[in-house]
Structure 1
Amino acid sequence: MDSLVRAPVAHPSRPRELEVEPLRRRLEETVDGEVRFDTGSRAAYARDASNYRQVPIGVVVPYTLDAGVAAVAACRSRDVPVLSRGGGTSLAGQCCNAAVVIDWSKYCGAVECVDAAARKVTVQAGAVLDAVDHELARYGLMVGPRPSSHPNCTIGGMIGNDSCGASAQAYGKMAESVLRLEILTYDGVRTWTGPTDDAEYARIQAGGGRPAEIYRQLRELRDDTMELVRIRFPKLERRVSGYNLDELLPENGFNVARALVGSEGTLATVLRAELSVVPKPAARAVAVLGFEDIFAAADAVPAVARHRPIALEAMDENMYRLARQEHPGDPALKDLPEGAGWLLVQFGGDTPDQARERAEELMRDVGEHATHTFLGDPAREDRLWRWRESGLGVEAYPPTGRQTYEGWSDAAVPPERLGEYLRDYDRLLRRHGYQDSALYGHFGQGCVHGRLPLDLHTDDGIARYRAFAQEAADLVASYGGSLSGEHGDGQALAELLPRMFGDEVVAAFGRLKAIFDPRNRMNPGKVVHPHRLDQDLAQRHFYPLEPKDKFFDYPQDHGRFGHAATRCVGIGKCRRHTFEGGVMCPSYRVTREEEHSTRGRARLLGEMVRGELITDGWRSKEVRDALDLCLACKGCRSECPVNVDMATYKAEFLAQHYRHRLRPREHYALGWLPRWAALASVAPRTVNALTHAPGLSLLVKALGGIAEERELPRFARERFTDWFKRRGTPRAGTRGKVVLWADTFTNNFDPHIGQAAVGVLEAAGFEVHVPPVPLCCGLTWISTGQLATARRVLARSVRALRPWAESGVPVVGLEPSCTAVFRADGPELLNTPDTRLVSERTLTLAELLESKAPDWRPDSSGGEAVAQVHCHQSAIMGYDADRAVLDRFGIRTEVLNAGCCGLAGNFGFERSHYDVSVACAEESVWPAVRSAGPDQAILADGFSCRTQIAAARTGRQARHLAELLAAALHDACK
């Protein structure tokens, strides 16, 4: 790496040369944690969720709070800037800087104490909000503020940003939840802060030293500015911009802790927080009000707010249209009342009836002013609420129109003036060519969200953005509003603060900064002495490098890999905990490592196509290492709010990285599995005997790079295709023909599943055909990045299936990962009319039964099952049809929301991945299998899932849906 980087010094900032190596050594010698100055780590932390990019000097991941204190001390010894980072989801640029980044989220996230009687909790700064609420749930409590990033935002980050969320309508901003903070200043003062009465002030002064100096200067600042603060600060619940000087006023108890809330890490480092928590509503109910437009909805906010809802949200027609385009069949969206602007009003209660009555009372009061709907279905209400929370992701890449960006996304005005403000704001958007932007947000407190179709690549576009931001700031100020009502100032808004507060208040902010951080080393360039809002933009003059010969088509990204590599907008939903369910990023859940999240990997790919920090392109070792633990589960393709498809990007990278180079041995051993299976079919018993002989088995595994702990799968004595040939002429059916595709895994390892599927399909009235020769989708070559071979293999299978597809015959896939290739990867890898036609004809067994035999009501023995859904099925096909078929058979099924099993095809067999694979299983499916009742069948359609479940050594064997249905039919006939 370069021995020199640029770093800012105290204001006025003059860059100076920084010797990195002595700093790195000092950190390694004194910090109990991970000290990283490598290119990959710096790339992963160069951006947050904003438009800004600043490459850090290095990254420190402390094991303990004391280690973090030591890291700050080491930086102080070298006079180096520091940035504390939590979830990294900041939208205004406050979480990226040319500094040493301290990531508290990996190890310093403990919930240290819960005092349920006093409704208090003490947590470390790196604690994730949802994890804290998970701990509090057993006491019936929760943290009041709940931003939409709740699955991954940290308490420290929420304090730094004075976070709000929809629940702030009832519980206020984060500042209202803070009782005390343990802080660390850059110069080494470590102390608890909170309300400071005269006795406490006297005690601090008696102690002397730097703490006494800080408090004395704070009181002087308060005395000098209190009248100015009382006059100039907006009387607004959602005032997030600026520093909380008002918390130092005598009437607010000279509360130093709350004065630090919202300071974005520019004043001090938060180590611990003592928070007040609130009872979790026992029941909730949502009323949805429809209006002729979003302006009329805003006009109604004061009347609705008088009913004291716990949340009062809004979305306009553009937001609704984008949501419907993404998920057209979602019943939560279908049930909205007529209109072009909606208020989503949530009420809490001790009972469902109480919450419902409050919602109904609101609807009676609204009367003729709006159409209204009471959902009444908790599951549907939750889905609708999640749509509102996912606004940023839904809006980022509209199906039609320009990509949108942050930059002006959360201004707040007094709610009683919201309708008037929005009409003026709409005119401003149209004047600058930003019309048709979605408007949504926390209307109950006058906070408006919305990304804009900015041009941040060209000088003219950036100049237009700058002019718009200045006019928008003046507009908000004229309404007595706040430039930020939730996301903070960071770099996007800090330059504009004089337009809101005036120069005297901004000068007072500078005095507060100087009291805590006189050398300007805490997150410099944000809030005070800020960089310009059009400085450090990641997009400026950036057009991603594009490979000449790529393999996939990237239809969602204009056919460009470079665009796909930069698709991530930094929301961080991929950084969830296991208890939250979902599929995305199983390796991150095990390692808690930023580079193992979808976002982290996307950041490295983005830096690769930028070509500045990562300069060796497809040959990059840093990108290869970050992608190495990607299980290619495809969970991000469906669960990421902007549909990043890391499995595809990984396959493309591996193809390019190893082009004309020798590959790892496991790529040949496991990537070419269909070929080895074809050879083994000549003498499967002999092959099984050789590969399972005690000494020879270890040799085979060593040669193939396979973990010693894995048992090699056994080849079937007779392949499914051979069995089907022996049956003779297909049996005629009343529902027409179907092609049962014998994938590599079903054909060579589990032919009994194919046999069971034939029985089910024939019982349902179908005439079953099986291609006479084995057909492979190319999955194993795709997952190992051998895409040229995958293309040839896929093309051969498409040619074989084309006659049936042209005749309208459905193609039924039994292995979810292989079926997903035909449905998704295939048309993107081999973009031909025939491939697209086969993709359209390909169905799962359950989809076929639901769509082609909906009236079939079989006699079934019923039963119970626990289902582990294959990741690729979850991401591509979904599981709704399977649920419906299981219900039709009377099989009561618990569908696990436990995430990836951890095997993921070749991944879990590889020696270097075994530990992560097993850890994934222990995080998810293995505990569920162990706790399953003896009468519950274990259902898993995926070969990988069944193999991993068997590896748990519980004695339980997972079964395919075809097996379960066939058994139910057989038992019913007895």
Structure 2
Amino acid sequence: MTRSPADVSGWDVARLEAALHETVDAEVRFDAGSRGAYATDGSNYRQVPVGVVVPRSVEAGAQAVQVCARFGVPVLSRGGGTSLAGQSTNTAVVIDWSKYCHGLVRVDPDARTCVVEPGIVLDELNRRLADHRLQFGPKPSTHSHCALGGMIGNNSCGASAQAYGKTVDNVRRLEVLTYDGARMWVGPTSQAERARIAAEGGRRAELYDGLDRIVTEYLADIRRGYPKIPRRVSGYNLDSLLPESGFDVARALVGSEGTLVTVLHAELDLVPVPAYQSLLVLGYDDICSAADDVTHLLEHCNPGQLEALDGRMAQLMREEGAYLESLDALPEGDSWLMLQFGGDSQEEVDEQAHALLRAVGRTEKDATVAFSDDPEREQRMLRAREAGLGVTARPPDDRETWEGWEDSAVPPERLGDYLRDLKKLFEEFDYDHPSLYGHFGQGCVHTRIPFGLRTAEGVADFRRFLERAADLVASYGGSLSGEHGDGQSRGELLTRMFGERLVTAFGELKALFDPDNRMNPGKIVHPNPVDGQLRLGPAWHPATPATHFGFPDDDHSFNRAVMRCVGIGNCRGHSGGVMCPSYRATMEEEHSTRGRARLLFEMLDGHADSAVKDGWRSTEVHDALDLCLACKGCKSDCPTGVDMATLKAEFLSHHYEGRLRPAAHYSMGWLPVWARLSRLAPGLLNSALHAPGLARAGKRLAGVAEARSAPVFAEQSFLQWWQARGLDEPDPADPHTVVVWPDTFSTYFHPSIAVSAVRVLEDAGFRVAVPAKPVCCGLTWISTGQLPLARKVLHRTLDVLRPYLEAGTPIIGLEPSCTAVFRSDAPELMPADQDVQRLAGQVRTFAEHLVHHAPEGWQPPRLARQATVQTHCHQHAVMKFDADRELMRRAHLDAEILDEGCCGLAGNFGFERGHHEVSMAVAEQGVLPAVRGAAPDSLVLADGFSCRTQIEQGGTGRRALHLAEVLALGLDGTLPAEHPERLARRPDQPSRAARWATTTAAVVSATAAAAAVGRTVVRALRRA
């Protein structure tokens, strides 16, 4: 009897791992951390893999399959891992093709074809094809991170399938490998070619003979049993083996979800990139009415896309404050259809839209019509539709929604009636008001449903609903899946759609290619139950740890905060936005936001086979989080708002509780204390920090990367400058009073920024106050997970700020990371503290205050300059950058706002020993090349201390300025007309020559002063 693939007890895993290490050129990982990171995908299911293999070449991947076959261990190929039906999770050896096997092997522009390796990401492929004005046609919403191998495995589609068809329609040939070692190129096969294959004999001949037998035996069933609709993805593509389909073995294998073969290379058909596009959006009273109109519209036009979204999704976007620009661009209505047209001229695409309007009796002036041939505006409107999965995954009402019935498809002409019946089914099961949207031009409906997957009753309802829904869609001549495939979500239901005969044929196809059931077992054929191997389920019993952060947006639950990640995978994108810099540098799943969230989920130990067993002390979770830059990019860029920086801080606090911490936690985590102590002898301290021998020893002691240069302490701090002015303290209740927040960085390192801010604010008519006693936001303690200390620091700061908080005085933040603490981290750390809530509401960025609250008539100086601008990650994530854009516009700065991701320094991260290589790799992927490429006479702006430091130390030859500095220079008329890189040293910093001239004396003096400094440190520690 064949042993169940899920039974790992009979496998010699240790010998398998050793054999893979010995014979395969790959990263072989059987550790708990790697297995935990790959335990699930974007679905409801979870299966801990046997191990993970990351091949360095396609040949190595093929060898890995052969080694697994020797040991009889199942194999699962994986790319982006975003599958929504459970295809990418299994008790198997996972082969991750995405890190190394992403080559574009060749392109034939004349034939419009290319050959690719399975790990290449769709957007990257299309970027490499851009010079040829060609692209791969299908474009799912995961295009920034989905791999072509996964698209082939799932038969992916996307919005553009309206014009270009599914992946199966765009695959010419495949090079495949069977589990038992047969390797071949397959594609359309003529009678003569099949005769030649038969004459050669061997395994290939056996496969083709078996395929011929299956098609012959089930010919009538195949012709009758496959619904004739544009979005049938369910089942194996036996219809591609019909004589009229050219006996196309490649297309028969597309959509087989890794259950039949391993794809090694693919030859793809390409399509021209449309030279011009336009977008027409039509508003309707409800989504069913919109669906009713689809066939009528298609009678009069042939759009490249025909998409839909409903009022429920728009409501969720408004409640979440997301994609508001997209919503603002939509016309009146409670549901919308979006039609995109493409062509060789703007006149052509515009006329297609206007002709349709004439045909349906509407005009561009109607309130329910929006037309655009502006690419930027089109993208804004389409982003609302692309955002569907993320927006509906975690609604603000705290319901959890899940896949399971998220991509059914019916004939477009029956779509409206199907939606009405589907809504009735929702009501029957009390699944209140799920959003309905999708690719309506092809009858494909997306939704996420609030299944109760935590209780036995909820899981039973989940199963009953799926069975009823399967019968419903079959009654409409539709498909269980119109895009995402069957996997485990729908494999058990295929008989309801295809009948027993065709499902038997699927089983015979599986047995032909994979007789021992070792290729991604339990999916499509002999499937695991739809309610089995659930990620949650009634047997899930996670720990419920007490935490320092309150997690107010997650029902005050660390578990729910971790479970924000539903596996969408945007954190695996290669460009644009901020998330996730460490993944972009390492291409490692466990260094993505999703991978870290998976390990934190495993850490909760809710399953008997949890990969992570040590809770807060877990080295696997620690190692995954170690390369998290805590940039907070995921807080804004993740569609479900995972905040890994906060989760990391929480973890570090517990991980090191009662234990010695890394040296960097004491050196950089306590930076505000050391900065305050620098006032004893800043010049001597700078000399000591840069004396070759002493600096090297100091870095080792402090846990600082040797390649880093210590920032220079200012000779005069901002507070010393402020006190020297001797001005009277303004009345906190005066409406013109503002508090300039004296953050550590703008006070002790770059005080010219704070001085400049005072100069500009006073020019705008404000009276500036600065706290008289030492204050701190606690950022460095938060980022190193010293949360009890951070809370203590914040309490003291609130005591100092209380008069301003009670008077409602605006507090102006200059350092984005500190401002973000007050807006985000502090309210989460102290959610019940009313002063913290007041502070969060009163703190403003420099630009926000000047743009929204400056007296009427005030204008910033007219600078008339170009500027290259790096946005700090925390500002991108928490405060946003709209006010800064507007202030720069008013100052006549021609600003190029970089979309190059994180600078890579990210507070203490880039300074810590062991992080320098990743830090620089992140910077070299975008920020540093962009700054080097900036025009010599342009300004370089970066409000964040980390960003400025990275630009300075990254070999750019440029020194970045804060926006406040630039405006102050403009007010004073001292902004150089050209070559601003000559502003190589701030006035508050000593020259290199001055620092080095006193090095020897400094070392002697520093030694003599050690005792006095030590006493001061002890006192500071006691106070903290």
Normalising by structure 2, report the TM-score.
0.92
Question: Quick check: 1:608 aligned with 2:610?
Answer: no
Are residues 1:849 and 2:815 paired? no
Q: Which residue of 1 aligns with 2:752?
A: 752
Structure 2 residue runs without a partner (length 5+): 977-1024
Question: What is the CA–CA distance in structure 1 between the aligned matches of 2:790 and 2:356, rounded to whole Å?
Answer: 59
Aligned to 1:20: 13
Paired residue for 1:319? 313
| Residue 547 (structure 1) shift | 5.0
Deviation of 1:253 (Å): 0.2
Show CA shifts across 1:382-430 (max 9, x none). Answer: 1221221111110011111521001111000000010111111111111
Q: Aligned to 2:82, which of 69, 82, 89?
A: 89
2:484 counterpart (487, 503, 517): 487
State whether structure 2 residue 954 is matched by structure 1 residue 952: yes
Distance 2:322 2:501 in 1: 52
Deviations 1:843-875 (A, max 9, x none): 010000111026422342321110010100100
Contact 1:707 1:909 in 2 (8 A): yes
Alpha-carbon deviation of 1:249?
A: 0.4
Q: 1:110-131: CA deviations, max 9, x gaps?
A: 1111111111111001111111
Amino acid in the other structure paired with 2:637: E
* Map of 1:920 onto structure 2: 922
Indicate which of 931, 938, 944 corresponds to 2:940.
938
Give a deviation string over 1:265-319, Cα, whole Å, max 9, x none.
Answer: 0000001100001011122211111111111100000122231110001111111
Q: Is 1:297 matched up with 2:290? A: yes
Q: In 1, Cα distance between the equivalents of 2:541 and 2:753?
A: 46
Structure 2: how far apart are the matches of 1:11 and 1:750? 65
SS at structure 2 position matched to 1:158: helix
Q: Which residue of 2 aligns with 1:502?
A: 499
Runs of 4+ in 1 over 4 A off after TM superposition: 8-16, 730-735
Higher deviation after alignment, 684-693 or 726-735: 726-735
Q: Residue 145 of structure 2 corresponds to which residue in structure 1? A: 152
Are positions 1:882 and 2:880 aligned together? Answer: no
1:773-792 alpha-carbon deviations (Å, 9 max, x no partner): 33210111111100111111
Moved more, 360-369 or 952-961: 360-369
Contact 2:860 2:967 survives alignment (8 Å): no
The yes-or-no answer on 1:648 pairing with 2:646 is yes
Q: Is the partner of 1:270 in helix, strand or coil?
A: strand
**TM-fit CA distance, 1:544:** 6.0
Matched, 1:250 2:243: yes
Deviations 1:5-26 (A, max 9, x none): xxx9567987752221111111
Using the TM superposition, give the Cα deviation of residue 971 of structure 1 relative to its aligned residue in structure 2, in angstroms: 2.1
Matched residue, 1:551: 548
Residues 411, 449 of structure 1: 8 Å contact kept: yes
Secondary structure of 1:912's partner? coil
- Hey, what's the Cα distance between the residues in 1 that align with 2:545 and 2:445? 43
Equivalent residue, structure 1, for 2:370: 373
Match in the other structure for 1:107: 100
- 8 A Cα contact 2:329 2:380, kept in partner: no
Q: Is the 8 A contact 1:145 1:165 kept in 2?
A: yes
Gaps of 5+ in 1: 1-7
* C-alpha spacing 1:349/1:969, structure 2 compared with 1 (3 Å): farther
Instruction: Report what 2:672 is aligned to.
Output: 674
Cα separation, 2, equivalents of 1:218 and 1:560? 53
Q: Residue deviations 1:753-804, cap 9 Å, x none?
A: 1111111111111111111233210111111100111111111112222211
CA distance in 2, matches of 1:498, 1:744: 66
Please say if residues 277 and 373 of structure 2, whose CA atoms lie closer than 8 Å, have aligned partners that are also in contact. no
In structure 1, how many angstroms separate the alpha carbons of the residues matched to 2:394 and 2:757?
40
Secondary structure, in 3 states, of the residue corresponding to 2:218? helix
Residue of structure 1 aligned with 2:69, choices 64, 70, 76:
76
Matched residues, number: 965
Identity of counterpart residues, as a percentage? Answer: 56
Contact residue 331 and residue 380 of structure 1 kept, 8 A: no
How far residue 378 of structure 1 moved from its aligned partner, in angstroms, is 2.4
* Residue 177 to residue 857, structure 1, CA distance change in 2 (3 Å): same
Deviation, structure 1 residue 480: 0.5
The residue number in structure 2 matching 1:259 is 252
Alignment partner, residue 4 of structure 1: none
Q: 2:455 aligns with which of 450, 454, 458?
A: 458
Structure 2 match to 1:520: 517
Aligned partners of 2:548 and 2:829 also within 8 Å: yes
Letter in 1 for 2:863: S
Post-superposition offset of 1:203: 2.0
Cα distance in structure 2, aligned partners of 1:604 and 1:908: 23
Correspondence for 1:352 among 343, 346, 353? 346
Amino acid across the alignment from 1:795: H
The structure 2 residue matched to 1:581, chosen from 565, 576, 585, is: 576
Structure 1 residue matching 2:915: 3-state secondary structure: helix
The match for 2:781 is 781
Moved more, 528-537 or 385-394: 385-394
Kept in 2, the 8 Å contact 1:44–1:604? The answer is: yes
d(CA) in 2 for partners of 1:638 and 1:797? 27
Q: Give the superposition deviation at 1:532.
A: 0.6
User: In structure 2, do the counterparts of structure 1 residues 819 and 443 end up closer, same or farther at CA, with 3 Å as the change threshold?
Assistant: same
With over 3 angstroms needed to count, the CA separation of the structure-2 counterparts of 1:528 and 1:332, relative to structure 1, is same
CA distance in 1, matches of 2:4, 2:688: 72
AA at the equivalent of 1:848: H
SS of the residue corresponding to residue 336 of structure 2 reads: strand
Structure 1's 855 and 93: CA in aligned 2 closer, same or farther, altered over 3 A?
Answer: farther
Matches within 5 A, 1:410-429: 410-429=407-426
**Quick one: distance in 2 between partners of 1:215 and 1:49?**
35
What SS class does the counterpart of residue 901 from structure 1 fall into? coil
CA contact (8 A) 1:721 1:773 kept: no
Residue type of the alignment partner of 1:803: P
Query: 1:599 pairs with 573, 590, 594, which one?
Result: 594
Most deviating of 335-344 and 221-230: 335-344
Q: Which residue of 2 is the match for residue 331 of structure 1? A: 325
- Report the AA paired with residue 130 of structure 2: A
CA distance in 1, matches of 2:729, 2:168: 72
Q: How has the CA–CA distance of structure 1 residues 239 and 269 changed in structure 2, closer, same or farther, with 3 Å as cutoff?
A: same
Q: Find the aligned partners of 2:942 and 2:887 in 1 and give their Cα distance.
A: 15
Query: In the alignment, which residue of structure 2 is the partner of 1:818?
Result: 818
3-state SS of paired residue (2:361):
helix
> What is the DSSP-based 3-state SS (H/G/I as helix, E as strand, rest coil) of the residue aligned with 2:568?
coil
Deviation at 1:199, TM superposition (A): 1.9
- Out of 560, 565, 578, the position equivalent to 1:563 is 560
For 1:330, give the aligned amino acid: L
Separation (CA, whole Å) in 2 of partners of 1:674 and 1:535? 52
Aligned mates of 2:864, 2:78 — CA distance in 1: 52
CA-to-partner distance for each residue in 1:722-766, whole Å, 9 max, x for gaps?
A: 101111226989971110011001101011111111111111111
Q: Does 1:834 align with 2:828?
A: no
Q: Structure 1, residues 787-834: CA drift from partner, whole Å, max 9, x if none?
A: 111111111112222211221211001000011001100111122100
What TM-score do the two structures reach when normalised by structure 1?
A: 0.97
Match of 1:5 in 2: none
Task: Assess if the C-alpha contact under 8 Å between 1:128 and 1:154 holds in 2.
Answer: yes
Once the two structures are TM-superposed, the CA of residue 707 in structure 1 deviates from its matched residue by 1.1
Which whole-Å deviations, capped at 9, do the CAs of 1:222-266 have from their partners, x for residues lacking one? 111111100111001100000000000000000000000000000
Q: Any idea what the Cα deviations from partners look like across 1:83-118, whole Å, max 9, x if unmatched?
A: 001110000001100011100011101111111111
Do 1:9 and 1:519's aligned partners in 2 also have CA atoms closer than 8 Å? yes
Aligned residue runs from structure 1 range 696-845, under 5 A: 696-729=694-727, 736-831=736-831, 832-845=833-846
Contact 2:104–2:115 (Cα < 8 Å) also in 1: yes
SS of residue paired to 1:117: coil
Q: Does 1:48 align with 2:48?
A: no
